[in-house]
Structure 1
Amino acid sequence: MTQPYVVRYVGGPLDGRVDSLPATPEVPRQVVTYVHLHAGPKIVHIYELSYAVEYGCEYVLRVEDE
């Protein structure tokens, strides 16, 4: 039996979300883009892959420099 591949999201609108895939992808995506569409302008959030000791892989919200 294989272990599921679990990814957590940190920050932004996806904070706390956990995705589970049946197996580890050969090449995990380094960046995930989340686009929020609503009545106003399109809002784009970018998450970067990182490693956390507690969870393994997680995507952390990229903070833009002002």
Structure 2
Amino acid sequence: MEGIGLSDDSARDDGTGADDAVLLFVGGPLDGRVEIRAARHGEPLPTVTHVHLHNGPKVVHRYDLQPLGEQAGVYHLRTSARKSARDESTAD
């Protein structure tokens, strides 16, 4: 087996690298999901939109990123602005 060299990439055979971001989702249909964003894809997006299609109406959820250091973050479910506007109009 002489002459066979191993590259440095073989140490990362699990698909994750030291510069990859670990992202956790809190709330909504993605609650508890953990995602590894590869460093080659750049910085995590500030907002992620999740669209659920089924036999009924389309359901859209938006998650906003709260960074936790350089390589971790939490996406929190955005509360509906329409719902809070409705609540304000009924308060009068």
- Shorter-chain TM range is 0.7 to 0.9
1:5 to 14, 21, 30: 21
Tell me how many residue pairs correspond in the alignment: 65
Q: CA RMSD in A?
A: 2.2
- Unmatched tracts of structure 1, length 5 or more: none
Q: Which structure: greater strand fraction? A: 1
Q: Which structure: greater helix fraction? A: 2
Q: Does 1:60 align with 2:56?
A: no
Larger Rg: 2
- Unmatched tracts of structure 2, length 5 or more: 1-11, 87-92
Q: Does 1:30 align with 2:21?
A: no
Give 2:67's aligned residue: 51
The two structures have a TM-score, normalised by structure 2, of 0.59
The two structures have a TM-score, normalised by structure 1, of 0.79
- For the 8 Å contact 1:5–1:24, the answer to whether it is kept is no
- Which one has more relative contact order, counting CA pairs under 8 Å at least 6 apart? 1
Give 1:21's aligned residue: 37
| Structure 2 Cα separation of the partners of residues 10 and 46 of structure 1 | 11
